[in-house]
Amino acid sequence: MGGDLDIKLIVDGKRLDGRSFDEFRKPLKLEVGVLREADGSAYIEWGMNKIIVGVFGPREAIPKHLADPDKARIRCTYTMSTFASLEEHGRMGPNRRAIEIGKVVREALENVVMVEKFPSTIIDVHMIVLQAEGGTRVASLTAAAAALINAGIPMREPIVGVAAGKAGGEVLLDIGKAEDNYGQADVPMAFTKSGDIVLLQMDGKLTREELAKAIDMVEKGSKKLFKLQEKAFEKEYAEPIGRKLSLLEEESKVDIHSL
């Protein structure tokens, strides 16, 4: 939140990139089943963000003391590549920000993943941000939920996330990097399909009315993300047109483990 730097973020009722106040960045693309080794995976492109999520489990809790006899434990890691931003070379390894994001995403997922079905096991959710342009935590969460579904891990319902914020004096959906840096507030949120808030953070200054507006905006916007999720799964399991049996193609791509 840079505050009131003299950068015009809203011109003629439009945002810097031409979006209206409640419009998502483009592209907005979600694909599932992108990794071979992971039990479930998803790839999201959201504005300039490019994120891959891989899920493993439920699997044996090692070391044993990690096991909870009543439910599966979810482990969530968030990694930002060293070349994810236009600025200088980033550092490898998790920083405080990455650890916090892992925690809040995990706590959101714990609402919907039916962890009670898999006592004493671990479910791993690993998120890698290859390219970042603001809003990576909610984009990662949206992809993480899709990856969990792709892994066949039982969930009560899906979740999706998007941030609202305030920039140029207006409440805006899906704020981009400039709007975050030079705006007045950032409110990342995640919703369940039935309308519960499972992730909520806030940074900046908002009036009560503005906050209410931001929450409404995200709730409305999340409907679009649930559609995106549905589309991704319809595409993954749709019958390809003109499918041909190609032995050669298959031969060298064995992904079954000999053990």
Asked if 89 and 151 count as a contact pair (C-beta separation under 8 A), the reply is: no
Binding letters toward another protein, positions 28-57, x by CB under 8 A: -------xxxxxxx------x-x-xxxxxx
User: Closer CB to another protein, residue 121 or residue 142?
Assistant: 121
**Least CB distance from residue 228 to another protein, whole Å?**
12
Work out whether 70 is an interface residue with another protein (CB under 8 A): no
Binding mask 85-104 for another protein (x = CB under 8 A): xxxxxx-xxx----------
Q: In what order do the strands lie in the sheet with 49-60?
A: 28-32, 40-46, 49-60, 121-131, 73-80
Binding segment for another protein among 9-17, 18-26, 82-90, 166-174 (CB under 8 A)? 82-90
Stretch that binds another protein, among 12-20, 83-91, 103-111, 161-169 (CB under 8 A): 83-91
4 and 102 Cβ atoms separated by less than 8 Å: no
What is the per-residue binding string for another protein in 102-131, x denoting contact by CB under 8 A?
A: ----------x-x--xxxxxx-x-xxx-xx
Site for another protein in 180-199 (CB under 8 A): 193-194
- Local structure of 55: helix, strand or coil: strand
80 touching another protein, by CB under 8 A:
no
Min. distance of Cβ 60 from another protein in angstroms?
A: 5
Binder among 1, 7, 19, 81 for another protein (CB under 8 A): 81
Minimum distance from residue 7 beta carbon to another protein (Å): 17
Q: Can you tell me the distance from the alpha carbon of 222 to that of 195, in angstroms, rounded to the nearest whole number?
A: 9
Give the whole-angstrom CA distance, residue 49 versus residue 215: 23
Q: Which is nearer to another protein, 177 or 213 (CB)?
A: 177
Binding-site member from 77, 111, 181, 201 for another protein (CB under 8 A): 77
Round to whole Å and give the CA distance between 198 and 195. Answer: 9
> Where would I find the H helices in 92-175?
96-109, 136-150
Q: Out of 11, 27, 83, 205, which residue is the one contacting another protein (CB under 8 A)?
A: 83
For the chain, the straight-line distance linking the first and the last C-alpha, in angstroms and rounded, comes to 52
The number of beta carbons lying within 10 Å of the beta carbon of residue 99 is 12
Window 149 to 178, contacts with another protein (CB under 8 A)? 149-158
Under rule CB under 8 A, which residues in 129-148 are in contact with another protein? 130-132
DSSP state of 116: G
One-letter amino acid identity for 163? A
Query: CA nearest 164: which of 219, 104, 101, 108?
Result: 219
